[in-house]
């Protein structure tokens, strides 16, 4: 056998073997192509899902930040509420203070503040057996706000409104009374005024 004959036999054998392989490839190749196109679709879906994940993560971060800011605002408001409740409790524990206004507040007038007390409402008067009916407000702190052009006018207006002869005791506060809270008249002050 010559080389040519061997070569021809080899070609025939290859052709006989190639026909079934071509038939098999004909069956498998479309499936393989479909699978590879399915991979492209999967890759596209993965990209879409990846972008949706980033979008959802941004929304979650925004909502978390909003929740944290609302939590800090809530704690700040609760702190303010506790401070207000404490202040209300402190104010409710204080005895009442009555403010008497003398004169009309007008432009050009100054405000003078004086503490007031009534001798007949004092503990000494009750202890000595005096049975005089006195308004109970005089047993608490009383303040007069006097609107006048000057200190002398204020003293005169206060004397007319609360005369000494009727048992009223008056004491002007310094610095216009700002920030000063009068206290209930003490025993010694009442005793000194009674003598």
Residue range 109-129: mean pLDDT, rounded:
74
Write phi, then psi, for 71 (nearest 5 degrees).
-65, -40
- For residue 160, pLDDT beyond 70: yes
Which helix (H) or strand (E) element contains residue 111? strand 110-118
H runs (alpha helix) in the chain: 3-93, 123-127, 151-161, 187-194
- Rounded CA gap, 119 and 190, in Å? 7
How deeply is 144 buried, as exposed, middle or buried, from its count of CB atoms within 10 A (0-12, 13-18, 19+)?
A: buried
77 pLDDT tier (thresholds 50, 70, 90) = very high
DSSP letter at 131 equals: -
Pairing mode, strands 141-148 and 110-118: antiparallel
Q: Say which residue, 125 or 163, is predicted with more confidence.
A: 163
Helix (H, G, I), strand (E, B) or coil at 103: coil
- Note the pLDDT tens digit of each residue in 123-140: 555 556 666 666 777 778
Other Cβ atoms less than 10 A from the Cβ of 100: the count is 15
Tell me which range, 34-38, 42-46, 168-172, is most confidently predicted by mean pLDDT: 168-172
Instruction: Give dist(CA 183, CA 185) in Å, integer.
Output: 6
CA-to-CA distance for 163 and 112, rounded, in angstroms? 17
């Amino acid at each position: 056998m010559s080389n040519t004959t061997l070569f021809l036999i080899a070609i025939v054998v290859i052709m006989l073997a190639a026909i079934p392989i071509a038939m098999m490839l004909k069956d498998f190749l479309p499936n393989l192509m479909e699978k590879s196109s399915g991979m492209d679709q999967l890759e596209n879906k993965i990209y879409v899902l990846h972008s949706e994940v980033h979008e959802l993560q941004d929304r979650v971060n925004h909502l978390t930040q909003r929740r944290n800011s609302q939590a800090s605002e809530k704690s700040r408001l609760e702190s303010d509420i506790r401070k207000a409740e404490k202040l209300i409790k402190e104010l409710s524990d204080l005895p009442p203070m009555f403010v008497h206004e003398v004169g009309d507040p007008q432009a050009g007038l100054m405000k003078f503040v004086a503490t007031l007390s009534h001798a007949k409402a004092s503990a000494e008067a009750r202890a000595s057996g005096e049975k005089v009916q006195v308004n109970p407000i005089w047993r608490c702190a009383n303040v007069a706000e006097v609107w006048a052009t000057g200190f002398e006018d204020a003293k005169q207006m206060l004397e007319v409104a609360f005369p000494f002869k009727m048992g009223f005791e008056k004491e002007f506060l310094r610095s216009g009374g700002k920030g000063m809270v009068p206290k209930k008249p003490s025993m010694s002050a009442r005793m000194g005024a009674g003598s």
